[in-house]
Structure 1
Amino acid sequence: MLSNPATKYRAFPAIDLPNRQWPTRSITQPPIWMSTDLRDGNQSLFEPMNAERKLRMFRTLLQVGFKEIEVGFPSASQTDFDFVRELIVGGHVPEDVTIEVLTQSREPLIRRTIESLKGARRAIVHVYNATAPVFREVVFGMSKPEVKELAVSSVRLIKEITATMPETEWVLQYSPEVFTSTELEFACEVCDAVTAEWGATPSNKVILNLPATVEVSTPNIYADQIEWMHTHLARRDSVIVSLHPHNDRGTGVAAAELGLMAGADRVEGCLFGNGERTGNVDLVTLALNLYTQGVSPGLDFSDINAIARTVEHCNQLPIHPRHPYVGDLVFTAFSGSHQDAIKKGFAAQKAAGPDAMWNVPYMPIDPADVGRSYDSVIRVNSQSGKGGVAYLMEAEFGVVMPRRLQVEFSGEVQNYTDSHGGEMSAQDIWNLFDATYLNAADAKVRYVEHHLFDHPGQTGKAHVQGIRIGVEVDGQPMLLSGEGNGPIDAAVHALQTIGVKVQVRSYEERSTKASTDAGDAQACAFLELVATHGDTGKGGERFGVGMDTNIVTASVKALISGVNRLGLVDVDAAEPVAA
């Protein structure tokens, strides 16, 4: 049993912000993006990245379009220090990209950090100290004035050291660590002191990063905190308000979105949300959320699979198969009702034309926009229905099944998945379709050949169509003959010579390019049959399917397919002419 939360945990208080504006706002432009995959993301790994993986990640971030990248914690390890030096000395940083490094508010660490940046064209020095009560009182034993002085003295030192290195354009970033648990008035007081010490101006802005170092409240409260700071900070025109949401409550993306509505200018996070504990905010999800609302995010995720594989390699962590936008199964529907809706949606989208607004059920984004194909959108297991089966048969093999055949064949698929378990690929479904309708192993009657003939009917009547069908019945060659008002009717009469009495309930034919070994354009015939005794329908209805380059041949094959599925062949009653 869980303990009583009311006696163990303190609810985070609401913010007194009676005139809050963020609930009525929308995000209409992307934020300044800053990736911390190489710092915050890396320091959370069981096995931190080596130099090769770090450089590969850096290059991927450049390809995506990040202009600000936090590349390490150079005072924390020689590996990080050397990597920063390699980026600068090796010429890996493009002219329009700014690298950022993190340091604690301690003099030796600050000096070491700035040393790592020697020769950089432009660099962000990110300094932080904890401001929340539990850290002041429990971790460091410091008073509010001492905490404030630590922040100001650290900024003063950074300003003094960087003044001796004018070849670099220096940008200050300050974070009141655990901002979300800090009294707003005190957080604002410290931030104002920092911007005053740096001498922030509209042309020399300070980045004030307001992190949800630990997510302790609902996203609306974080938005209230950001709006409060946005409206109370001194020198607001000389400040870039930055967000750094973590995901302890699982609402990091929501907190970032609401924080942007509340007045923030910038977001720090990691691709796919890697980071300490439950992770940093997921920048891919955040950016593509904007994209699906008609806002260009300014980041390129048009080949999401390549990015995902790189991140998995560099982090040595798998991406969840249902991760938004990128998971291997995120565009995959197994549910029968979902599959049916998606199939209809794709058809309507295609009919609407290439310039139509995207409007496919269950799919907030077009998979093609992130470089994903439609091949895996619908996959079949024991939960699937006729819509998914029909979609795969059409998309993969060009077979457009009549609605009632969809129902019939989905039952065959259901039986297969129930007995075999797991998932069926498109090829598995085709193999089952072939074994059920086209080349059934237990077929009593097998088509060999046919020949058409006709002769004049009685006076005033139409010509009579005749057919001779060469078949094998239980392995024995036979020649069946019949006449009717067309090839199918004639073939129905021919089959009566081996005891088969059927009525054709429906007939459809379509051209297709089936993915068979031959790969040729084929005609596909679908006949729905019912067994009869005289004129009275008996037994169940079954579909037969035939495929051939000739439509009449396909139709005869479909008839024989349906007869086999009905199980009506009575060899003892047959009186055929031997072939």
Structure 2
Amino acid sequence: MDKNQIIIFDTTLRDGEQSPGASMSLEEKVQIAKAFQDLGVDVMEAGFPAASQGDFEAVSEISKILTKTIPCGLARSLKNDLDKCYESLKHSKHFRIHTFIATSDLHMKHKLQKTREEVLDLIKFSVEYAKKFTPDVEWSPEDATRTDSDFLCKTVELAIKSGATTINIPDTVGYATPSDYERIIKDLYNRVPSIDKVVVSTHTHNDLGLAVANALAGVAAGARQVECTINGIGERAGNAALEEVVMAIKTRNDLMPYTTNINTKKISPCSKLLSSTIGFPVQYNKAIVGKNAFAHESGIHQDGMLKNKNTYEIMTPESVGVSKSSLVMGKHSGRHAFKEKLIVLGYPNFDESKIDEAFKKFKDLADKKKHVFDDDIAALVDDELMNDKNVIKLVSLDVFAGTKGQKAVLELDVYGTISKTEQSGDGPVDSIFKGIKELFPHEAHLQLYQVHAVTEGTDAQATVSVRIEEKGKISVGQAADTDTLVASAKAYINALNKLIIKRKRTAPNEEFSTAI
């Protein structure tokens, strides 16, 4: 391998999915895996096969479809975990098993309740056992940045002797600073025999907002793999954001003369895909992929941009897949212009048969709004993409609200049968949700109801996010409409439609909390 080539190890589908509320269905994981392979991810941690039947199936399906990206599964230092990993990954010609165990005194005493000698025995066993299944074995000392340095070196040396080909150094709780993390990596290179024969990897969490800085410090110290996630999602405050790591390397190649296999023009579409799938909106001022990352409002900034874009932009929006298109969409726009706009917004393969319906909805929206923004169109199209999978559809909704009470009159198409109900509640949204539950009985509990405007103004389209839970299964629904109440009904129905798909899958038989 080129000594300046950085391996991008994406753990969005494993560590990222451990974000509360970020669970994904099998179909959603497969869609994301295909997009991330197209993005150029080198290794994809597809899940934790021993955690549940759903995770096992997801890793198995993903291992069947990946042809360029290496599929990887996570396993504790247990025979059953390692067996499950192999069984789920064996469909791929080349796969990786990633095994780990905690090495800090804090974790060993209070979590594992094991001695250092017992942990060393498990390291040797797990790596050697994984090696029977694949030559590509990664090992991680959980909570490495709070591990005694002498013991950390001892564990890493043992893992290498046992056959590990990648050594990952997790900052599990986001405790390190860049100088800390760089020192730890350099210490390993100076003290561990044969470490120059393996790939050293970073895995940094963002509890102090230092995940990306720590990852890059690790690279500067000699690490040649970075574990990261799209949009920086992950446990607690998240992981190092793939888009930030990659674009930092690309933009400051003068200080970091490294390369990656990432097609940066596909970063923004992947960010939007993940956001719409899990229902986590991207922070407006999020680096690289935020809505305002390439927006300029200040008069001084606008003047500088008009004279020379380099005055206030250190990278081009096009380099990360964001269009600078000045095409303004409105009620006079034609179908061809609408189709071109879909391509620009990251929907190049939008089903031709669905364009007419989406175009009609766009026209209806344009009649209601003075300005139709790109985000309006994206929200509309995302809603349309779910239509053919829906078994519950909104037919009509009338809401009566005011000081004298609230009432919702609702019609739904459920499995092809149209039914109607009238419900009252503690507000219009409560009335709507009660009506939906009356027409489609279920035991799901509402965990989150969130409204935000897609664009500005009193005629702005509202995007509503709904998260529901039923017997351990979490489903997230989103919908957009200029009428907030209509968007609320559609979002709740969208979540129920996703839940129906998840019901067909076996429920997890046990809970795992892994946070390497």
Q: TM-score, normalised by structure 2?
A: 0.60
| Equivalence map 1:520-559=2 (5 Å) | none
Post-superposition offset of 1:47: 4.3
Task: Tell me if 1:340 matches 2:303.
Answer: yes
Corresponding position of 2:311 = 361
**Deviation (angstroms), 1:82:** 1.0
Letter in 2 for 1:307: C
8 Å contact 1:30–1:290 — kept in the other structure? no
2:322 maps to which of 360, 364, 372: 372
Distance change (3 Å), C-alpha of 1:344 and 1:319: same
Q: Do the aligned partners of residues 30 and 321 (structure 1) sit closer, same or farther apart at CA in structure 2, a change above 3 Å counting? A: farther
Q: Distance in 2 between matches of 1:99 and 1:375?
A: 36
Aligned to 1:263: 222
- Structure-2 residue corresponding to 1:114: 86
The residue type equivalent to 1:111 in the other structure is D
- 5 Å-filtered alignment, 1:53-132, equals 53-88=28-63, 91-94=64-67, 96-132=68-104
1:187 and 2:152 correspond: yes
Shift of 1:262: 0.4
Q: Are the counterparts in 2 of residues 44 and 275 from structure 1 also a CA contact under 8 Å?
A: yes
Deviation at 1:62, TM superposition (A): 0.7
1:377-399 C-alpha deviation (Å, 9 max, x unpaired): xxxxxxxxxxxxxxxxxxxxxxx
Which residue pairs with 1:147 in the alignment?
119
Distance 1:108-1:374 versus aligned 2 partners, 3 A rule: closer
Change in 2 beyond 3 A, CA 1:119/1:303: closer
Following superposition, the deviation at residue 267 of structure 1 comes to 0.6
* Corresponding residue for residue 14 of structure 2: 39
Question: Cα deviation per residue 1:417-452 (whole Å; 9 max; x = unaligned)?
Answer: xxxxxxx9899xxxxxxxxxxxxxxxxxxxxxxxxx
Q: Corresponding residue for 2:172?
A: 213
CA spacing shift, 1:34–1:343, aligned 2, 3 Å: same
Structure 1 residue corresponding to 2:188, chosen from 226, 229, 254: 229
Check the 8 A contact 2:104/2:142 in 1, yes or no.
yes
Q: Which residue of 2 aligns with 1:137?
A: 109
Question: Which has the higher relative contact order, 1 or 2, with Cα contacts under 8 A spaced 6 or more apart?
Answer: 2
- Contact 1:75–1:109 at 8 Å: present in 2 too? yes
| Contact 2:4 2:224 (C-alpha < 8 Å) held by counterparts | no
Which residue of the partner structure matches residue 291 of structure 2?
Answer: 328
Cα distance in 2, alignment partners of residues 176 and 281 from structure 1: 18
How far has the Cα of 1:308 moved from its partner?
2.2
Please give the alpha-carbon distance, in whole angstroms, between the structure 2 residues aligned to 1:305 and 1:149: 44
Which amino acid counterpart does residue 270 of structure 1 have in structure 2? Answer: T
Residues 142 and 170 of structure 2 are in contact (CA less than 8 Å); yes or no, is this contact kept in structure 1? yes
Cα 1:426/1:100, change in 2 over 3 Å: closer
Structure 1 residue 276 displacement after superposition: 0.4
Residue identity opposite 1:137 in structure 2: K
Provide Cα deviations, 1:271-299, integer angstroms capped at 9, x if missing partner.
Answer: 11110011010011110111112465321
SS in 2 for 1:157: helix
1:159–1:300 distance in 2 versus 1, CA, 3 Å:
closer
How far did 1:113 drift? 2.0
Aligned residue number for residue 170 of structure 1 = 135
CA–CA distance in structure 2, aligned partners of residues 74 and 217 of structure 1: 29
> After the TM superposition, which residues 269-284 of structure 1 pair with which residues of structure 2 at under 5 Å, given as runs?
269-284=228-243
Larger Rg: 1
Cα offsets for 1:523-554 (capped at 9, x unmatched): xxxxxxxxxxxxxxxxxxxxxxxxxxxxxxxx
Give the percent of matched residue pairs that are identical in Structure 1 and Structure 2: 30
CA distance in structure 1 between the partners assigned to 2:43 and 2:229 by the alignment: 12
1:72–1:80 contact (8 Å) kept in structure 2: yes
In structure 2, the partner of 1:51 is 26
Give the Cα–Cα distance (whole angstroms) in 2 for the partners of residues 133 and 244 of structure 1.
20
Aligned 8 A contact 1:56 1:314 in 2: no
- Matched to 1:93, the amino acid is L
Counterpart for residue 447 of structure 1: none
Instruction: Give the direction of change, closer, same or farther, for the CA distance of 1:304–1:105 in structure 2 (3 Å limit).
Output: closer
TM-score, normalization: structure 1? Answer: 0.53
Q: Name the structure 2 match of 1:491.
A: none
Give the partner amino acid of 1:33: I
Q: Deviations over 1:12-61 (max 9, x none)?
A: xxxxxxxxxxxxxxx99441111111111112241410011101110111
> CA–CA distance in 1 between the matches of 2:127 and 2:268?
42
Superposed structure 1 runs of 4+ greater than 3 Å apart = 27-30, 294-297, 373-376, 424-427
Alpha-carbon contact 1:60-1:307 (below 8 Å) kept? yes
**Following the alignment from structure 1 to structure 2, what is the Cα–Cα distance between the partners of residues 240 and 247?**
23
Change (3 A) 1:303 1:107: closer
Following superposition, the deviation at residue 217 of structure 1 comes to: 2.7
State the shift of 1:251 in Å.
Answer: 0.9
Could you say which residue in structure 2 is the equivalent of 1:245? 204
Please list the CA deviations of residues 56-109 of structure 1 after superposition, one character each: whole Å capped at 9, or x if unmatched: 110111110112111110000101111222234xx4121x33111001112222
The 3 A distance-change label for structure 1 pair 31 and 186 is same
CA RMSD of aligned residues (A): 2.4
Task: Indicate how the Cα distance of structure 1 residues 119 and 28 shifts in structure 2: closer, same or farther if over 3 A, else same.
Answer: closer
2:514 maps to none
The aligned counterpart of 1:395 is none
Taking the aligned partners of 1:296 and 1:150, their CA distance within structure 2 comes to 36
Aligned length: 326
Q: Name the CA distance, whole Å, in 1 between partners of 2:267 and 2:128.
A: 43
What is the DSSP-based 3-state SS (H/G/I as helix, E as strand, rest coil) of the residue aligned with 1:127?
strand
What's the counterpart of residue 366 of structure 2?
Answer: none
Q: Distance in 2 between matches of 1:45 and 1:30?
A: 33
**1:54 and 1:314 in contact (8 A); partners too:** no
Give yes or no for contact 1:288–1:297 (8 Å, CA) kept in 2.
no
Which one-letter code corresponds to 1:125 in the other structure? I
- Amino acid corresponding to residue 101 of structure 2 in structure 1: N
- Unmatched tracts of structure 2, length 5 or more: 327-369, 374-516
Alpha carbons of 1:321 and 1:119: their partners in 2 closer, same or farther (altered >3 Å)?
Answer: same
Partner of 2:480 in structure 1? Answer: none
User: What amino acid maps onto 1:373 in structure 2?
Assistant: S
The 3 A distance-change label for structure 1 pair 372 and 118 is closer
